[in-house]
Amino acid sequence: MKNIFLVILGFLFVANIGFAQEKVIRLSAPVEQGDNYEVFGDEFPQGMEVTGLERLIAKSADYKGQQVTTGGTIKKVCQKKGCFFMLGAQNGDVRIKFKDYSFFVPTNSTGKEAKLVGTFQVNELSEQKAKHYAKDAGEDTPKVEGPQKEYSVIATSVKIIDAER
């Protein structure tokens, strides 16, 4: 009888591990929701001209300090609280942060499409800061050496589109 109990207990333990889901952190409620999207921060403006990430990076001196509307596929999200995410372009990555730390995105947003409005910035990060950001994005051993040039947008509104929803 004791052996049967241990076998059942072992099976339940293994089954529980197999069905465990990732922990999703959502520290901000969306300001708008649709069938396949959520908007965080301010309401998302309509009719603004969209500038591609590749162009922002290639012409960074022209766009630095300017309000832009851009978007792309989310590569990584801060796994601690969703306080930033990364969009990837062929000529570099762009870090998306949120104005005045006033809103966050769900930590399970990786792979979804994002459209956003905010101020484009070009900064130089210390090696220590770059490693800190990489660790927050979920990298186990960040491969960062020396200061890093960083492209970022301080967003006021982010629309996350989930095509599978």
Per-residue DSSP letters for 45-71?
PSSPPP--HHHHHHTHHHHTT-EEEEE
User: Who has greater pLDDT, 131 or 37?
Assistant: 37
pLDDT at 17 over 50: no
Work out the average pLDDT over 97-105: 97
Average pLDDT, integer, range 77-102:
95
Rounded to a whole number, what is the distance in angstroms from the first to the last CA of the chain?
Answer: 47
Percent of residues, the chain, with pLDDT higher than 90: 64
| pLDDT value at residue 143 | 78
Burial of 143 (0-12, 13-18, 19+ CB in 10 A): exposed
Mean pLDDT of 41-54: 94
φ and ψ at residue 137, rounded to 5 degrees: -80, 0
Give me the sign of the Cα torsion angle 56, 60, 122, 41: negative
Which residue, among 154, 77, 139, has the nearest Cα to 109 in the 3D structure? 77
Domains and CATH numbers, the chain: 24-161 (2.40.50.140)
The closest alpha carbon to 65, from 116, 118, 101, 117, belongs to 118
The pLDDT of residue 41 is above 50 = yes
Q: Is it the case that residue 146 has pLDDT exceeding 90?
A: no
- What is the pLDDT of the chain when averaged over all its residues? 86
